């Protein structure tokens, strides 16, 4: 897709719709997230099945029919400025063949989520619409939790309001260039790696030629990261990139986190050709302090300053 549509910015006092395309949210979390956004001056509409649980699969927020109906209803509602997903988990990929992409392109609106929501981000990008990989309404240190980090909240609103297109790494989080020069440019594709792996070679992944692929994941052993990157190499994805950017690989809270931090860059160097820049240290992933970033936007990374410049719509 050579031309991408930007969603309209989230206006002050705008309307946010919350839905649960993937996992079931714990009791009360959706309501806490909605209340937190209302305190910030937004009108919030909670989709009918946002707090549902699948009758047979308790890892899903309602049936596929319910979850898809909620998502498409928010897509079709002209009053909605932003679709904010409640949480990740699992299940977004099961909805991809039922989303009304034509309606989304006719009235592109902000959609935000990460982790399992990467499936929706990728599918929208494959249909030429930019969405956002970022904090959610409930889990993952989102709006409904007292662990919401000020940097993460500021990055979320910076992204969805489209008021500032320069995203800066925190001063205490410098980037590390493993290969490449002082800058690298391309179409930014921030993903949870295991979700990209699950959709590779399907029509729900955009063309990654010349892309800046920013990867992260949580509670994945090193061998699983190796397997995912090897699959992307064998399918020809990694060889097309301008840059492979590395966010956080974590979640174990033991020596495995240190092993991942050391060896994921090594794997990236081993599995990509010399023409692909490899840069690590991005504050992106399943971490409290994280960027919200547009999926599919043209971007340039200044590796010296740690600034990520997004081309304006």
Cite the active site residues.
115, 216, 286
Nearest to 95 by CA among 207, 174, 218, 199: 199
Alpha-carbon gap, residue 33 to 143, rounded angstroms = 5
Rg value, the chain, Cα: 18
Token digits for 46?
């909670």
Residue whose structure tokens are 């930007």: 6
Q: Which residues pair with 3 in a beta bridge?
A: none
- Is residue 37 a contact partner of residue 44, using CB atoms and an 8 Å limit? yes
- Is residue 50 a contact partner of residue 67, using CB atoms and an 8 Å limit? no
Beta-strand (E) ranges in 10-152? 15-19, 43-46, 82-85, 110-113, 131-133
- Is residue 95 a contact partner of residue 61, using CB atoms and an 8 Å limit? no
Token digits for 63?
């049936």
Strands 131-133 and 293-295: antiparallel
Q: Write the DSSP assignment of 248-264 as a string of letters.
A: EEE-S-SHHHHHHHHHH
Question: At residue 51, what are phi and psi to the nearest 5 degrees?
Answer: -110, 15
Alpha-carbon gap, residue 155 to 152, rounded angstroms = 5
């Amino acid at each position: 897709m050579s031309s991408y549509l930007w969603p309209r910015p989230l206006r002050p006092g705008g309307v946010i719709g919350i839905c649960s395309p993937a996992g079931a949210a714990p009791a009360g979390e959706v309501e806490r997230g909605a209340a937190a956004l209302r305190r910030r001056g937004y009108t919030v509409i909670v989709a009918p099945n946002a707090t549902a649980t699948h009758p047979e699969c308790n890892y899903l927020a309602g049936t596929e029919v319910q979850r898809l109906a909620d998502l498409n209803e928010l897509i079709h509602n002209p009053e909605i400025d932003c679709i904010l997903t409640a949480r990740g988990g699992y299940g977004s990929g099961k909805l991809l063949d039922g989303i009304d992409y034509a309606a989304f392109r006719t009235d592109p609106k902000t959609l935000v989520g990460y982790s399992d929501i990467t499936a929706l981000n990728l599918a929208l990008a494959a249909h030429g619409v930019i969405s956002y990989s970022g904090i959610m309404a409930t889990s993952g240190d989102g709006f409904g939790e007292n662990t919401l980090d000020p940097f993460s909240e500021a990055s979320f609103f910076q992204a969805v309001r489209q008021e500032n297109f320069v995203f800066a790494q925190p001063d205490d989080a410098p980037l590390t260039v493993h290969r490449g020069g002082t800058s690298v440019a391309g179409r930014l594709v921030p993903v949870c790696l295991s979700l990209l792996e699950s959709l590779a070679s399907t029509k729900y992944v955009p063309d990654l030629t010349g892309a800046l692929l920013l990867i992260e994941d949580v509670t994945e052993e090193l061998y699983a990261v190796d397997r995912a990157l090897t699959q992307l190499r064998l399918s020809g994805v990694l060889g097309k990139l301008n840059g492979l950017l590395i966010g956080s690989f974590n979640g174990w809270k033991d020596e495995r986190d240190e092993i991942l931090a050391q060896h994921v860059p090594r794997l990236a160097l081993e599995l990509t050709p010399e023409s692909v820049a490899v840069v690590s240290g991005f504050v992106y992933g399943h971490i409290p302090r994280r960027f919200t970033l547009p999926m599919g936007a043209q971007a340039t990374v200044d590796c010296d300053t740690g600034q990520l410049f997004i081309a304006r719509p």
